[in-house]
Structure formats: structure tokens, C-alpha cells
Structure 1
Amino acid sequence: MDGARVYLVTGGCGFVGERIVELLSQQDYIKEVRGFDSAAREEVEKLSTGTENVVRACCVLNIPYLLYTSSIAAVGPSTSCEPLLRGNEDTQYGGEVELPYGKTKAMAEKIVLEANGTKPSNGGTLRTCVLRANTVYGEKAAFLQELYVLARARNGVLNYLEPEDTERNHTYVGNVAWMHVLAARHLQLKADLLAGQVHYCFGDTPSRKGFLVRHQLLSSADPSVRLGSHIPYWKMWLMIQLHRIIRVILSPFWRPQPFLNVPLLNTIVTTFSFETDKASRHFGYKPLFTWQESRLRTAQWLKAAAGSLGPPPAA
């Protein structure tokens, strides 16, 4: 334990953060793991520009390493909906990012990467690295539970929006967390190699077709869930516009929450996938959980969660 470090996980109560804390706590080279989350501290919610605050704290408190969890949304799709087919960390992709979430992630990435090499007050050097997650599934994935509720309401039919040739990467939450553990460790051991770098998160989920992955996960938990049909773009676009009109008309009396918007729809139907082994080359990453294990763990959680939903509605 000589020289063992203390790890702080911001967002440690979140979907991915919780798993990072769990895996870090199993490593014998770590002295202590601390979690910090706005869900646990109300005063944290009053702070703005969180990434800037984290970088500033690293410099003031002489913290030498910072690993930032970003997203493929920081890259795109762009407002022009240009596809990206199996790119990698070096692929050039231009244009303005479509979703507000992606824009904030891109801004945060810039802050973190520009902070690499900063000299804190003690004369040391801050080393930073970025991991880009994609569509993350697994236990406590809210979107899976919501899809399951929708499928049950439709007698087990799971329809989908994306065209069948659309590609997206999906990664099990345990493997995303494991990549964080390895990257954080090797950022200390191989700072010259990892510092200032960006790595995509990946696992061994076999399909890049989102609707197939979702169906396999839900049907593993409930064999009655069956794949439905593709919802055409024009039909969903009209539904979004109709919903907006209804919101305006009924706004004095009722304001239903939007279920989807056009930018998000455009993102869903646009191919945005990558293919890389950079994390394997840089810090020896291999998925900790196989596709079979990932699917089983997710299915077991969904089965347990389904018990709290009650019986499906009568046909």
C-alpha cells in the first residue's frame, strides 16, 4: 500500500459512476475511494460549469491526474446529419454538434484536454485523459426499463425508429467502468502515453444495430417481447409536430412533457459508429464481461425491476 492513492469519483452515485466506485474498491493498490455527487449534496447543484470547477480544484489541491467521462455525442452527429461509419479516435468529423448534451460534452472535453500539462501551485504537472462512452446498457439503465414498459403496453411488441442499416455502438456498463479503472491506473504509470489522449469505450456486444441489441436484452428478460416494425421517419416527424401543436393549444390548462424532438430523432436515425483498439494498445484493456454475461446480468435486473411494475395491461 506504500504510495497508494485516493481516488475521487465525481458523479459516483450515477449509472456509470456507481460501477466505477464498485470496481475501484476491489483494487488492492488503491488506498481509498470517495464518491461525490449532486444527488448526495444539495449545495453542489448550485454550482455551474462543473468541469471548470473540477479542473480548478485539481490545480489548487495539487491533484496530478484527471480522467474525464465524455460521450461520442461530443463528436456528433452534426446538424447536417452526416453519418460516421466505423471511425476511430483520429477520424476527422466536422460540423456543429446537433444535441445540446453533445455540445456541453464537447466544451468539457476541450477544457479537460487544454488543462493537460498545467502546472499546479506545488510545481507538479496535471495529466488529463478523456474516455468517450457510447450507448451504455446494463443494470439500472433507465432507457431499458422505459422501453420494457412501452413493450408491455403494446402486448410485447418492440417497434424501432432507426433504419435497419443504421449503426451504433453499445457497451455494457461494467466494461465502461472497467475501462475507467484501467485508464486511471495507466494514466499514472504511462502518463507520457495517455496524457492528452481520447479513447472510445467499447466491449464485445456483437451487433451495431441498436434495435437488435435492445430486443436481445429485453427478450432475454421476457421471451414474450418480440421485435415489431420500423416506424418511418415522416410518421414520427408528424407526431412530434402534432404534439407540439397540442402543447401550445393546451398550455393554459395542461403541459405534457415532450416525448421526442426533431434533433434527437435525427440523431437516432443517423449512423454514428466507431471501430478501434486504441484502449487495448495504450493500457491493455479487454472487456471484463462477455456479451453473454452482460446480457444475463441485464436480463436478471430487468426481471427484478419488472416485478415492481405490476402485471402488463390487459389486451
Structure 2
Amino acid sequence: MDGAWVYLVTGGCGFVGERIVELLSQQDYIKEVRVFDSVAREEVEKFSTGTENVVRACCALSIPYLLYTSSIAAVGPNTSCEPLLRGNEDTQYTGEVELPYGKTKAMAEKIVLEANGAKLSNGGTLRTCILRANTVYGEKAGFLQELYLLARARRGVLNYLEPEDTERNHTYVGNVAWMHVLAARHLQLKAELLAGQVYYCYDDTPSRKGFLVRHQLLSSADPSVKLGSHIPYWKMWLMIQLHRIIRAILSPFWRPQPFLNVPLLNTIVTTFSFETDKASRHFGYKPLFTWQESRLRTAQWLKAAAGSLGPPQLQEKKN
């Protein structure tokens, strides 16, 4: 019944979760939005995975719909760093996922999909579906703050790691959140279509070249930010190994945090992109924010946040 729905958002205080809560609270068919979030602690990490607990709770409490937020990292790149160029939800891509984050997302996806059709305590049926986010940008995106600090430390020069022919999708956080709102609603209205399905998140962010998107976002906030040059793979690989050696030598006295590792570097330089309209076909998704609006909102936030970022802490390095 419209106006009687109660939504629970787990991780609702996070970067994407906060925007989902904001948009849900504006829908007149929802009676209440509840938020659950916590900081992982050692004493609770020993209990199974969070996704398994959510599925069990749905079955025990007869909650009939579950929408899971996953990531393109659940698909790949694999350990062989095989590229995926403009695939879609039906594209076959095999091999062990490279990053630990992606491995846990893949495990969670399996749990959610296998739970679709599970029996609830009241005799009903659980319906589940999955949204896969990619690189999400927008207000409060921590990686943009870090990149801006790096650029400021290098006199406004923004260098990049991926080769110029590498493709990656980017999506504005408001559009990722809007897709969640629509998918959750239509999972209720058209369960026979959405249940058991996986959808990639997308919008009209124009370039698949991540370094160009990042430059446009940062330069919109600060025109002094200039696009620098490509950092060769071998140079960054050597820096990672040198950092590991220094860390091992200094470990009794100081343990600097690793700034990058080889699996992450391999992922950055591997093309992994998709092209789809499945969400539009299945539940009428259209981006709530245009690229121009997304860029403006992000730039305004970054300008406002710049004053609290403090002076650059990194020394300029010669490439």
C-alpha cells in the first residue's frame, strides 16, 4: 500500500547510502526510512559475513524485498588482468577476481542471488536483486579530495596512471542513489521482472577515460589544476617495491601506510568498462542529474571543502 512502506538502509551513513536516504525521504509512498550503520570491530568481524546476516534477518522477520549494492569489482578485472571493453550484464567474463574487495563483493552477490525465492517466516517469498556501482564521484567523494591535495602539492599538475586508451565508467553519486530508489520500488511492483537480476549503474558522464573526468571535475572547482602526464607502469611498480623495502626496514620504528599495491595498480591500468540500458528497459531509469549538474554540484562542494583540506603535505616530485 502506498504511504505505508518502511525502508531500511544498511550503511546509510556512507557516501552512497546518505544520498539514498535523502532521496527515499522525498518519496510520498514511503512511510518511514530507517538507517543502520556501524564501524566494524574485531569482536564482531568473527561472526560470518554481514550479507548473510541481512538475508537471515529478512527471512526471520518476513521482509520480502532486498536490494544489494555491489560493485563492478565483483566481476573483475581478474588476476590475468584481461580487459572488458563495453560489456553488459550478460557479458561472460571468467577468472578469479584480482582485488580482495571484489572477491568479497562477488561472494556477497552469490549469497543474495541464491536467497532470491527463499521462504519467509510468514510463508511469503524473498525477492532480491543487485545494483553494481563503478567509480562513483560527487559531493563527499574522498578520492577527489585526495587528488586535489596531490595536485596542489604538485603546483596544480594532475598526473595519471592509466594509459590513455584505458576505459572506465564513472557515475555521479546522486544518479547511483536514484537508481537504487527506482529499483527498490519496482522490485516491489514488478518482482517477476527484477527479482534475481543484476544491473550496472550508469549515467551520461561523457568520458570513459577516468583521468579526463577527474581533471574536468577538479578544474571546474579550481581552474589552476592542469592535466599532467601519464606515469609509466614500470615507474609506479618500482616505487611500490621501494616503498615495501623502506617499510620493512623501518618497521621496528615506523610503519608508513602503503599508498598503492600491485593488484590495485594492475586494476587501474586495465580497461574494464560497460555499456547498457538494462535499468532503463526494466524499471524506467533515467539519470536524475545531467553531467553538467553533476559536475557543478561536485565542483561547488570541492570549493567549499578546499578550505578545510589544509596546506599540501606532499613535496613536489620530478618525474
Query: Per the shorter chain, which TM-score range?
Result: over 0.9
Tell me, yes or no, if structure 1 residue 186 matches structure 2 residue 186.
yes
Secondary structure of the structure 2 residue equivalent to 1:6? strand
Cα distance, 1:4 vs. partner? 2.0
Mapped to 2, the partners of 1:40 and 1:249 lie a distance apart of 30
Aligned to 1:102: 102
Cα distance, 1:311 vs. partner? 5.1
Query: How big is each residue's C-alpha offset from its partner over 1:179-201, in whole Å with a ceiling of 9 and x where there is no partner?
Result: 00000000000000000000000
Mapped to 1, the partners of 2:230 and 2:128 lie a distance apart of 42
Question: Between Structure 1 and Structure 2, how many residues are aligned?
Answer: 312
Cα distance, 1:42 vs. partner? 11
- 1:217 to 1:2, Cα distance in 2 relative to 1, 3 A: closer
Mapped to 2, the partners of 1:180 and 1:41 lie a distance apart of 28
Query: How big is each residue's C-alpha offset from its partner over 1:115-152, in whole Å with a ceiling of 9 and x where there is no partner?
Result: 00001111100000000000000000000000000000
Cα distance, 1:40 vs. partner? 10
Secondary structure of the structure 1 residue equivalent to 2:128? strand
Mapped to 2, the partners of 1:40 and 1:268 lie a distance apart of 27
Aligned to 1:159: 159
Mapped to 2, the partners of 1:42 and 1:9 lie a distance apart of 23
Secondary structure of the structure 1 residue equivalent to 2:9? strand
Secondary structure of the structure 2 residue equivalent to 1:285? coil
- 1:47 to 1:306, Cα distance in 2 relative to 1, 3 A: farther
Could you state the TM-score of these two structures normalised by the residue count of structure 2?
0.95
Query: How big is each residue's C-alpha offset from its partner over 1:175-223, in whole Å with a ceiling of 9 and x where there is no partner?
Result: 0000000000000000000000000000100000000000000000000
- 1:202 to 1:2, Cα distance in 2 relative to 1, 3 A: closer
Cα distance, 1:309 vs. partner? 2.2
Moved over 3 A (4+): 39-48
The answer as to whether partners of 2:9 and 2:35 remain within 8 angstroms in 1 is yes
The answer as to whether partners of 1:38 and 1:45 remain within 8 angstroms in 2 is no
The answer as to whether partners of 1:5 and 1:32 remain within 8 angstroms in 2 is yes
Tell me, yes or no, if structure 1 residue 195 matches structure 2 residue 202.
no
Cα distance, 1:86 vs. partner? 0.1
Secondary structure of the structure 1 residue equivalent to 2:171? strand
The answer as to whether partners of 2:178 and 2:288 remain within 8 angstroms in 1 is yes
Secondary structure of the structure 2 residue equivalent to 1:260? coil
Mapped to 2, the partners of 1:2 and 1:68 lie a distance apart of 22
The answer as to whether partners of 2:3 and 2:30 remain within 8 angstroms in 1 is no
Secondary structure of the structure 2 residue equivalent to 1:215? helix
Cα distance, 1:60 vs. partner? 0.2
Cα distance, 1:47 vs. partner? 4.8
- 1:306 to 1:93, Cα distance in 2 relative to 1, 3 A: same
Cα distance, 1:11 vs. partner? 0.1
Could you state the TM-score of these two structures normalised by the residue count of structure 1?
0.96
- 1:42 to 1:234, Cα distance in 2 relative to 1, 3 A: closer
Q: Identity, % of aligned pairs? A: 94
Question: Does 281-290 or 3-12 show the bigger shift?
Answer: 3-12
Secondary structure of the structure 1 residue equivalent to 2:295? helix
Query: How big is each residue's C-alpha offset from its partner over 1:243-290, in whole Å with a ceiling of 9 and x where there is no partner?
Result: 000011111111100000000000000000000000000000000000
Cα distance, 1:232 vs. partner? 0.1
The answer as to whether partners of 1:13 and 1:39 remain within 8 angstroms in 2 is no
The answer as to whether partners of 2:3 and 2:28 remain within 8 angstroms in 1 is no
Cα distance, 1:79 vs. partner? 0.2
The answer as to whether partners of 2:70 and 2:105 remain within 8 angstroms in 1 is yes
